[in-house]
A = this chain, B = another copy of it.
Amino acid sequence: MQKKIKTLEEAIAPIKDGSVIMVGGFMGTGTPEILMDALVLKGIKDLVIICNDGAYPKRGVAKLIANKQVKTLIASHVGLNPEVGQQMDRGELEVILVPQGTLAERIRAGGTGLGGVLTPTGVGTIVAEGKQVITIEGKEYLLEMPLKADFALIRGSVTDKKGNVWYNESTRNFNPLMAMAADTVIVATEKIVEVGEIDPNNVMTPGIFVDVIVGGEKPWQM
A contacts, CB < 8 Å to B: 105, 109, 113-120, 134, 136, 139, 141, 143, 145, 166-169, 172, 199-202
Residue pair A113, B117 in contact (C-beta under 8 Å)? no
Identify A117's interface contact among B117, B199, B202, CB under 8 A.
Answer: B117
Least CB distance from A145 to B in Å reads 7
Neighbouring B residues of A117 by C-beta, 8 Å? 109, 114, 116-118
Query: Given the complex of chains A and B, what is the CA–CA distance between A168 and B200 in angstroms?
Result: 10
Identify A136's interface contact among B105, B115, B119, B139, CB under 8 A.
Answer: B115
Name A's interface SS. mixed
Neighbouring B residues of A169 by C-beta, 8 Å? 200-201
Least CB distance from A122 to B in Å reads 12
The number of times this chain is found in the oligomer is 2
Given A168-B201, A169-B201, also A141-B115 (CB < 8 A) = yes
Residue pair A201, B201 in contact (C-beta under 8 Å)? no
Interface centre among A119, A167, A201 (most CB of B within 10 A): A201
Closest to A112 in B: B105
Neighbouring B residues of A167 by C-beta, 8 Å? 201
Neighbouring B residues of A201 by C-beta, 8 Å? 166-169, 172, 202
Identify A115's interface contact among B120, B168, B200, CB under 8 A.
Answer: B120
